[in-house]
Amino acid sequence: MAGEFVIAHNPEPDSKLPYLVRLPLGGGVVLKARETWPRTSKVYCHRADGWPDDPEIVERVPVRSCTRRGPAVDLVLDRARENRSQFVFTVLRTGREAIFWQSARTTRKARPRTRQATGRAGDETLALVIDSHEHYPYRFAAKAGRGHVDLSRRALPAGDYGVEVDGTLVAAVERKGLEDLATSLTTGKLGFALAELAALPRAAVVVEERYSKLLALEHVRPSAVADALAEVQVRWPSVPIAFCETRPLAEEWTYRFLAAASAEYRSRAETEGLEATLPPARHVPPAEPTPAQIREWARRNGWTISDRGRVPASVIEAYRQELTSGPPGARIRSR
């Protein structure tokens, strides 16, 4: 587990954000929030001054993971429902910082289109590098004509297409045709290529065909190539293999992937010290044990205790003593 996600009442009586949320990020950070969960819409949050000395706890839930990825903090709670959410730090057009707490239900979902997208990916022109050894490369003609990409050719240490930030390759895409993919899988060459790609912050392999066509190849057993593909994906999970059906769609996917990878890398660099700018949260004392937990502990330690009714005070006292000073020297049997 990665700590606890704790919600408490905001002690400021006139605040429009009545809750405090404590994230187990670093040493713990505190935010003010309008709601206790983003159920119907995104929840507006704001930086808090700190965690109160005597908080009025509303809810505390074990955390499976709490990870910052650039300007976003992904939170996964250890419960069946309402367990995945994200805190997004952004800057409004007025220049003021805003923090939004969102879940999958409240995030705007993409609507698939049947025609190729023509809009720019991101807000800046993408400086895209094509490996000088790539034969018949993607031209990105439509994107270059609109000023969406700035193309250059030189040798890349990994992949066929890449983007650089300050002279460092931060993302790359390896292009594969169907026959080339099958050959590199059966000979083991793809594994070496994926090992090089996995060393980059972001990388992927794009295939100019459908997955079903891979299983319909002649002169190779479908199970052999399918198993080889599954094995390399399990061994190098950070390098996805995308089947894009046609060459134009594969070109479009490559452009979108590299643009997104470049934007994410820059946002990570810009928000490198985000945790240090947030107010630290004090240590939260452990939650009070439930009667069921005390009964389970008592039975493990030789107590005779009923399944119903109040837990005897002597058992509760012995439980607390063990938490603070170790197992008690004598057992007092309850009746």
Which class does domain 291-325 fall in? few secondary structures
Name the DSSP class of 108: P
pLDDT at 303: 83
Mean pLDDT of the chain: 85
Name the DSSP class of 280: B
pLDDT at 329: 46
pLDDT at 10 over 90: yes
C-alpha pair distances (Å), 183 with each of 67, 217, 219, 290, 304 = 38, 11, 11, 60, 68
| pLDDT, tens digit, 9 for 90 and up, residues 84-98 | 999 998 888 888 888
Helix, strand counts (H, E) of the chain: 9, 14
pLDDT at 53 over 90: no
> pLDDT-derived band of residue 257, with 50, 70 and 90 as boundaries?
very high
- Phi/psi of residue 18, each to 5°? -80, 0
H or E stretch covering 163: strand 161-165
pLDDT at 331: 44
- Sign of the CA dihedral 184, 187, 188, 193? negative
pLDDT at 133: 92
pLDDT at 122 over 70: no
| Mean predicted confidence (pLDDT) in 206-220 | 90
**What's the rounded Cα separation, in Å, for the pair 159 and 201?**
13
Of 196-210, 294-308, 318-332, the one with minimum mean pLDDT is: 318-332
pLDDT at 31: 94
Domain residue limits, the chain: 4-107, 126-268, 291-325
Name the DSSP class of 117: -
Q: In what order do the strands lie in the sheet with 241-243?
A: 149-154, 126-131, 161-165, 168-176, 202-207, 241-243
Name residue, tokens 């992927």.
Answer: 204
pLDDT at 111 over 50: no
Q: Give the CATH number of domain 126-268.
A: 3.40.50.10130
Share of the chain above pLDDT 70, in %: 90
**What's the rounded Cα separation, in Å, for the pair 34 and 19?**
6
pLDDT at 115 over 60: no
